[in-house]
Structure 1
Amino acid sequence: MKAKRDNFDYLVASVEDYAIFTLNVGGYIQDWNLGAERTKLYQAPEIIGKHFRCFYSAEDQAAGLPEKELEVAARNGRVSDEGWRYRKDGERFWANVTITAIRGINGELEGFLKITRDLTERMLAMESLRQSDERFRLFLECVQDYAILMLDVDGRVVTWNQGARRIKGYEQHEIIGRHFSTFYPQDAREAQLPERLLRRAIEDGRTEDEGWRIRKDGSRFWGNVIITALHDSGGNLRGFAKITRDLSEKRQVMELQETDRRKDLFLATLAHELRNPLAPILMGVDVIAHSPADQTMVRGIAGTLKRQVDQMVHLIDDLLDMSRISTGKVMLKRSKVVLQDVINSACETVAPSMDAREQELVTDMPRGRIIIEADSHRLAQVVSNLLSNAVKFTPKRGRIRLEIRVEQEEMLRITVKDNGRGIPKEELSRVFDLFEQGSSLAEGGLGIGLTLVRSIIEMHGGVIHATSEGEGRGSDFTALLPIVISSGSDAGESATHTVDSPAPPATEKPRVLVVDDGKSAADILTMFFEMEGLLCATAYDGIEAVELAKTFQPDLICMDLGMPRMNGLDAARIIRMTDKAVAIVALSGWGTDDDRRSTAAAGFDQHLVKPVSPDDIRGLIRRYLRDNARAC
């Protein structure tokens, strides 16, 4: 043992970084080096001969920890431990301890070698890091406004915080281990968007994306996503950090702001479009008033006035149609019609606009008759609106192509192609939105036509989409409608068209009572009837109309609805009580289905919506006055 102590003194007595000393079999200290003195603050004379339990806490001593360590070392040859130990002044330090059994040549236990290293600084650094990691973990877990999660290198979820739970709806045990593509809608998964985002994150370090995401319950939210690739110090990919924000409310606000902007633009455009025809109307009226005898000039101006009024009527009809469709008040009037007749009607509508621009219309239709079941008026409106849109954006002497195909027996494909200015990619998804004009403001229009087209097509059970290769490369609009009944030269029943026959010569003048609180409108309509050879009287409110109906005994009453003192509905009811034979026609600016039901219930025979064309008025004469039923 003395030789060993000599070796101890020679080899380790001056070592300062480790406390190295020997114990006898009972655990009492026999040697003490400089490292022990520096670590534990005892001088050799103070500590040699004392039991090494003095370095342990009272709790460890009471638990017999020092003795247990000696037992383990004796049994196994050595024991290692880490824990708090105490210096002479009572200060704690974190120690890494190794106790090795010392045995003689005959194997008999002679004592122990104990090496202690002060790891307080390392332990404190590790504890600080652990606490920092714990705080960071708690921070991530408790964040409510962001879904913060970690993905492995394959994109599977490995961590889940409270924000992810709140935003996406999954509990941690439901989502850990699943691929993050779970959060993407079907079309995004089919386009491999999740995989492309991971590749971009690897290539660029991070990537950002916005789009629709899916919650556990299947509902959608608009998510802003940032994915960052995580690499270790060797540059090896270890996974991804993914942060998602729910921007649904922000998107809704932005959409409302955009809707307001488009509405403001629409109202400004509406005012512009309505003022445009008013200017030539006012000038034309003034010219006629000052030169009534110049019949050539009057006829020319009359044609101009008619075109301007037709333009205003078209604008107002579009507005009313959009309002009725959006509120569900339009019902399709389906019937079996010949498709070619519908297409011809639509082409005739846009022919003047095409002629003015010297544009060429090429039609490509199947041979033979195609019988469809549809609302012929609305379908013609679809085709004419698509053609009008093409006319607007196709330059002078440009070409427009209308193609009609029957597919899959009952499917009708209508395609309108042009070689005009085209549609920018960023506007393609919005061309059918209400009030959306994109870059078309300079061309005029309200941004309603294509919205009407889509609504009418969808009411027929069809779909429509637009394509364009970009600005200056033309546009294609294609609609598919399941409305074909039969096609070919031997198709079923043909469409029938009725034409009003001219009224027979009258032996006595029929009588017409015009009722409208708008004096100018009433007087002009009265003048029109008189020019048609009828005997007329005029009333400017409902009470006056009731009195005149008694004395004048008209064959036809054309009456406004909204009037002072007594409205047209009440006046019609009173007149009907004493005169069942007179024809009463409503001429009103109100034309909803509810308005028509109200006039029918009040006793009106027909309901026309202002402005009423001269041809419609002549139709009333032929329908109600051809028999000259009442004598003067």
Structure 2
Amino acid sequence: MSMPQSYDVSLLDEERYRLLVEAITDYAIYMLDADGRVASWNPGAQRFKGYEAWEILGEHFSRFYTNEDRLARVPERALRTAATEGRFESEGWHVRKDGSRFWAHAIIDPIWDRSGELLGFAKVTRDLTERRQAEAELRRSEQKFQLLVQGVTDYALYMLDPEGHVSNWNIGAERIKGYTAGEIVGKHFSQFYTEEDRERGEPERSLETAKREGRFEREGLRQRKDGTRFWAHVILDAIRSEDGELLGFAKITRDITEKVQAQKALTQAREELFQAQKMEAIGQLTGGVAHDFNNLLMAILGSLEILKKRLPNDPALKPLLDNAIQGAERGAALTQRMLAFSRRQELNMQAVDVPALVNGMMDFVQRSLGADTRIETRFPGRLSSVVTDPVQLETALLNLVVNARDAMTTGGLITIAAEEHVASERPAKLKPGRYIRLSVADTGEGMDPETLARATTPFFTTKGVGKGTGLGLSMVQGLTEQSGGKLAIESWKGKGTTVSLYMPVADSSDCPQSSETSMPSPTETPKGAFTILAVDDDALVLMNTTLMLEDLGHTVLEAYSGTEALETLRKGDHRVDLVITDHSMPRMTGSELASAIRDEWPDLPVVLATGYAELPSGGDNRLPRLPKPFSQNQLQEIVASVLGGGAAPGGAD
């Protein structure tokens, strides 16, 4: 049998208990005799049962139960359970004096005298109606809210003593924080804060604010038992007695991680959408003007090359011509770089000598830097070549150097270095093999871990609006991975950044060592003159193409459109060996012309000349390509490569 227990409750604890009960729940505490008749009645019982003491004393307590429970003999079973097991506890509907029902939590404890005789029962009833209704309403509200924000919100509700030690702990707190009540009660609440916040004195500051102003509310990072962090909305209320004495604090913590992440994702999505729309507009603009701009450069370069051949070797004129040709070639390179920002280019994979490539662009790089920025190169005496696109690698290095320059607001040192690495070292999770590590290091401000994690994200930039596209590092990463390697970034706040490109070492069977090695040798170059049909809707370009071909000894037929070209071929006045056609022409593109030629003259080769980095939709990527603007050497090379395989003159007549 269970014997009664006594509790030594301090006045302070009684006051806390009274404040807590009046704030949250009402209790009815009364006594029953051994038969279940009411023997005492407290004001709390009178308040929510509805009976005055003189009305209920001596009456059987079963009148508080519903008819259904009385018929099921629930009151008798409750007393019997309490007497035999030492306690009875249940929740269910009870009835007030006016007949209204309320949801009650009831506890019945037996009371024994010293000889073990049953004297009666102590009964505590708690009205849970409002809580039950609130829980049902909360469940309905949470279901609606979950549909709206696609998340669940939990609450940690617990008390702190005046010094900030946890005095009680609810299930929500256990779920959010990860501690059980036995692990955390009595511990200081500052252990929920991050180490950085503890060093700044945030826990103490929050208690002082709540003590001074009555309430403290803030959002910030908090720490769970397992060390993981979550974003929390915290409310801290001071609890005082009637005479104003501070009894402690009520603390509510809400996990809003999903909400904060959703807001950040939305903000980031908006920023990326803006950048994407801006870059799409730039891409459309550059794609539209590239053809016309390259045609202008084509006319300039072609005329300058022919002029250089035909002018006397005058020392006063030659430098001027060379400068003009170099300027036009730089304009062509600039166009290709602009196109690289707006659309992905097909890589021209070659074996590239890294030191030679870097040294070849140093003059241009130096002019891109300020007077207070120095640049150094560090290469070993012997270094294997890498497999990549040399033009795209040059563009990537230029992007990295510009980023390094921008990171050093007061100047500093940029170091371009290269060394060989073996994949077994796994510096960047590489596949087995030999790699060259090409790095660009600066002594700038560096990046924090959060910025470093997003550094290669397309359209992410720290340079501010209008100062960066956010595509530089993502382009470098794309080039490196397309080349079969990996990109690695090391950065420390205040100590600079090192960006490393791990690219595979070139094998002799991978690709030609340079563009010159892929050209037909003099013995492979087709002998004799050919009849070539040149097609272009731009008169300047067509004139220069004709001049360069005729200067090479070929006979040239001209056509200003695809329709005119077909008419020329169908006339049969000349046996045509090769067709070189522009792609972007009105009414019939170069690809469409090639298709028509293939239908009628399947053995007649066609070369597509275009200023686009990638052919627009509908272009025939199977055709040999001659990139605009092209030089006479490139023109000679494409003729040699297409007709050098034994094609007989006179493909169409």
TM-score, normalised to structure 1, is 0.55
**Residue in 1 that maps onto 2:634:** 616
Distance change >3 Å, CA 310–CA 630, structure 1 → 2: same
* Alpha-carbon distance between aligned partners in 2 of 1:176 and 1:518, rounded to the nearest angstrom: 71
Name the aligned partner's letter for residue 364 of structure 1. Answer: R
The percent of aligned pairs where both chains have the same amino acid is 17
Where in structure 2 are there 5+ consecutive unaligned residues? 1-45, 47-51, 65-94, 98-123, 146-151, 159-164, 181-190, 207-216, 241-245, 428-434
* Alpha-carbon distance between aligned partners in 2 of 1:578 and 1:209, rounded to the nearest angstrom: 74
Q: Aligned-pair distance for 1:577?
A: 5.3
Q: Aligned-pair distance for 1:208?
A: 1.6
**Residue in 1 that maps onto 2:532:** 512
**Residue in 1 that maps onto 2:54:** 55
Equivalences for 1:433-452 in 2 at 5 Å? 433-439=457-463, 446-452=469-475
SS at the partner of 1:415? strand
SS at the partner of 1:404? strand
Does 2:272 align with 1:259?
Answer: yes
CA RMSD of aligned residues (A): 5.8
Residues 459 and 469 in structure 2, CA contact (< 8 A), matched pair in contact too = yes
Q: Aligned-pair distance for 1:563?
A: 3.8
Provide Cα deviations, 1:79-135, integer angstroms capped at 9, x if missing partner.
xxxxx999xxxxxxxxxxxxxxxxxxxxxxxxxxxxxxxxxxxx9xx97xx877777
Q: Aligned-pair distance for 1:305?
A: 3.3
SS at the partner of 2:457? coil
**Residue in 2 that maps onto 1:630:** 649
* Alpha-carbon distance between aligned partners in 2 of 1:388 and 1:441, rounded to the nearest angstrom: 17
Residues 510 and 535 in structure 1, CA contact (< 8 A), matched pair in contact too = yes
Match of residue 536, structure 1, among 537, 550, 556: 556
* Alpha-carbon distance between aligned partners in 2 of 1:394 and 1:54, rounded to the nearest angstrom: 85
**Residue in 1 that maps onto 2:440:** 416
Provide Cα deviations, 1:482-516, integer angstroms capped at 9, x if missing partner.
x4699xxxx99998452535657998543321113
SS at the partner of 2:415? strand
Q: Aligned-pair distance for 1:536?
A: 1.8
Equivalences for 1:20-169 in 2 at 5 Å? 55-57=54-56, 60=59, 143-144=141-142, 145=145, 147-150=153-156, 158-160=170-172
Distance change >3 Å, CA 609–CA 203, structure 1 → 2: farther
**Residue in 2 that maps onto 1:20:** none
Match of residue 583, structure 1, among 605, 615, 640: 605
Q: Aligned-pair distance for 1:545?
A: 1.4
Residues 366 and 404 in structure 1, CA contact (< 8 A), matched pair in contact too = yes
The size of the alignment, in residue pairs, is 465
Distance change >3 Å, CA 257–CA 479, structure 1 → 2: same
**Residue in 2 that maps onto 1:80:** none
* Alpha-carbon distance between aligned partners in 2 of 1:204 and 1:243, rounded to the nearest angstrom: 21
Residues 318 and 448 in structure 1, CA contact (< 8 A), matched pair in contact too = yes
* Alpha-carbon distance between aligned partners in 1 of 2:53 and 2:527, rounded to the nearest angstrom: 140
Match of residue 402, structure 1, among 413, 416, 420: 416
Match of residue 226, structure 1, among 226, 233, 250: 233
Distance change >3 Å, CA 353–CA 440, structure 1 → 2: farther
Q: Aligned-pair distance for 1:521?
A: 3.5
* Alpha-carbon distance between aligned partners in 1 of 2:279 and 2:629, rounded to the nearest angstrom: 23
Residues 626 and 638 in structure 2, CA contact (< 8 A), matched pair in contact too = no
Q: Aligned-pair distance for 1:398?
A: 5.8
* Alpha-carbon distance between aligned partners in 2 of 1:54 and 1:449, rounded to the nearest angstrom: 84
* Alpha-carbon distance between aligned partners in 2 of 1:377 and 1:616, rounded to the nearest angstrom: 16
Distance change >3 Å, CA 160–CA 519, structure 1 → 2: farther
Residues 334 and 374 in structure 1, CA contact (< 8 A), matched pair in contact too = yes
SS at the partner of 1:241? strand
Where in structure 1 are there 5+ consecutive unaligned residues? 1-38, 40-52, 66-83, 87-122, 162-171, 181-191, 214-219, 325-329
**Residue in 1 that maps onto 2:400:** 386
* Alpha-carbon distance between aligned partners in 1 of 2:640 and 2:62, rounded to the nearest angstrom: 119
Name the aligned partner's letter for residue 209 of structure 1. Answer: G
Distance change >3 Å, CA 151–CA 467, structure 1 → 2: farther
* Alpha-carbon distance between aligned partners in 2 of 1:228 and 1:313, rounded to the nearest angstrom: 58
Higher alpha-carbon Rg:
1
Q: Aligned-pair distance for 1:315?
A: 0.9
Residues 157 and 176 in structure 1, CA contact (< 8 A), matched pair in contact too = no
Equivalences for 1:96-495 in 2 at 5 Å? 143-144=141-142, 145=145, 147-150=153-156, 158-160=170-172, 175=175, 178-179=178-179, 195-196=194-195, 199=198, 202-205=203-206, 207-209=218-220, 225-228=232-235, 241-244=253-256, 246-247=258-259, 249-263=262-276, 266=279, 300-321=323-344, 337=351, 341-349=353-361, 351-355=363-367, 357=369, 360-366=374-380, 368-370=382-384, 382-390=396-404, 399-405=413-419, 406=421, 408-409=424-425, 411=427, 412=435, 413-419=437-443, 428=452, 430-439=454-463, 446-459=469-482, 460=484, 462-465=486-489, 467=491, 469-470=493-494, 475-479=497-501, 483=504
